[in-house]
Amino acid sequence: MLVLGIESSAHTFGVGIVRNGKILANPKAMFKIENKGLIPAEVAETHAVNAAGVVSDALELAGIKMREIQGVGYTRGPGLGPCLQVGELTAKTIAKRLGVAIAQVNHAMAHVEITKKFAKMQDPLVLYVSGGNSQILKKNEKFLHYSVLGETFDIGVGNMLDSFAREIGLNPAWGSTVARLAEGGRYVKLPYKVKGMDFSFTGIATSAAKMKERESVEDLCFSVQETAFSMLCEATERAMLLTRSRELCVCGGVAQSNRLRQMLGLLAKEHKVRFGYAPDQFNADNGAMIAFVAEKMLKRGMESKLSECGIEQRYRIEDAVIA
Amino acid sequence: MKKSYRIEPIDIALRESRTRNEAHVLYEAGRLELNVPRLLAIGRFCVYMERLEGKLLRDIDQRPGQFGEVGRELAILHESGIAHGDFTPANIMKVGKRFFIIDFGLSEITKGVEEKAIDLLLMKRSVDPRCYAAFARSYARHSKNARGILAKLDGIEERGRYKVRSVA
């Protein structure tokens, strides 16, 4: 089956094309962050301008014509409302014009499924870390849905790194700039908060921002990153001990961090657990992961009527059925 | 336990504070004659305690019947002002016919209800819904403050992030 998938939940508008589980194209257009946060309406406008271009790029890269597409998928949620709407509208337009089936995909599940494909894992414990989300996930025993074992009490780890970066005036204000400056930094004490398999991040950013007059930028970046990632590793370790999972993977935007991957690799090694992750283009938001899950869903008859299609800003992964 | 994944200053600070914490809580719990390992001695990074021979609740066939006792143990622990901090079947050991609570590294002596509600939340996420129901019934029967703590649990679940569905 030849399926086109659209992702637009945050700053990325991505279109992926998949045939029988094989990824043929994965182009994207990103809203430029610079030194401020995301204003949903502004980002959505950029997506609307980029949509048609990214769709034609995808078709061209895959070497196919629009009329060959046999199914369409898009991100139902979670994400920013106005941004999700652009993806929904684009997907519905294509599905209606071609008269093909459409599937509503959960964004978090798409990250997990594409990572399982690349890491060659069936039933791993998953650390899903992105801007808006930070969760520890595992399929439930009957394999019907994912369960959230642990989660952030406040904001996602990526969001925390971004807002810290803005507070201390970095540009572009996001995690990879923090990571670059962290090299060679020294540790200063920051709040470390893990409760069972849950964690909370806002305290780290607030405390670090307060120290910006006293401590060097490098030391703060280093300490913010080490503290947050250690918390994630500890909560993951607790979930590993509870589930006795033999496989561990990390996915989502923050999974692009070399340091986090290194720490999780060490953790996995200590427990003799297999560790894996997807290539960076699939950890950042992308259309291919949506197409990948949409194809599975459509093959299993999990399609939606056009009139049922919508968006859900807080679409929880537990509420999505595994295809 | 030293963890290779974290940098030394974080590792040392955590191990020191948790060792102190664990020793303190074990001492209190032991004094109250709760089902916990007996505290023998305290080092900088290590608490020496009685060795228990048994199986983790995680590793045995879980039936609702067993969870009544687990609920009672947690209720008594909470009544004495201790929240466990990582209350899952991986930290409960069946010794003979009794259930012991172990690993107090994340525990707290607290008057607050939030930490106690989180203990319930962790159990809810980790076991079959019928086992949790038996656990919660027994907990409510043995705790004077159960109403407030269960209300807090509802509050945490309603923060929106949470919609608890267990892995079992």
Distance of CA A234 to the CA centre of its chain: 21
pTM for this entry: 0.92
Kindly state the average pLDDT of the residues A271-283: 98
How does residue B167 score in pLDDT terms, banded at 50, 70 and 90? low
Average pLDDT over residues A145-157: 92
Q: How many Å apart are CA B128 and CA B63, to the nearest integer?
A: 9
| Test mutation, A195, A230, A317, chain B, max B CBs within 10 A | A195
Q: What is the nearest CA distance from B137 to chain A, expressed in angstroms?
A: 22
pLDDT for residue B164:
57
CB-based contacts of A309, cutoff 8 Å, min separation 6: A74, A76, A88, A91, A92, A102, A104
Chain B nearest-CA residue for A153: B161
Given a cut of 80, whether residue A184 has pLDDT beyond it is yes
* Domain spanning B8-158, CATH architecture: Orthogonal Bundle (1.10)
* Closest partner CB to B163 (pick from A141, A153, A316): A316
Structural domains of chain A sorted by starting position, each given as residue range(s) with its CATH number in brackets: 2-110+282-319 (3.30.420.40), 121-279 (3.30.420.40)
A140 vs B118: CB contact, 8 Å cut-off?
no
Closest-CA distance, A156 to chain B, in angstroms, reads: 11
pLDDT score for A36: 73
pLDDT in tens, B85-121: 999 999 999 999 999 999 999 999 998 999 999 999 9
Kindly list the domain boundaries of chain B, sorted by start residue.
8-158
Give the pLDDT score at B162.
52
Cα distances (angstroms) measured from residue A85 to each of A164, A253, B152: 29, 21, 35
Residues of chain A contacting B126 with CB distance shorter than 8 Å: 149, 242
The stretch A28-53 carries a mean pLDDT of: 90
**B108: buried, middle or exposed (CB in 10 Å: 19+, 13-18, 0-12)?**
middle
Q: Do B167 and A147 touch (CB under 8 A)?
A: yes
Residue range A67-73: mean pLDDT, rounded: 98
CB atoms B165 and A263 under 8 Å = no
Q: What ipTM did this prediction achieve?
A: 0.86
Closest CB to B165: pick one of A140, A233, A264: A140
Which pLDDT does position A34 carry in this prediction?
74
Please tell me the number of Cα atoms within 13 Å of A204 on its side-chain side: 32
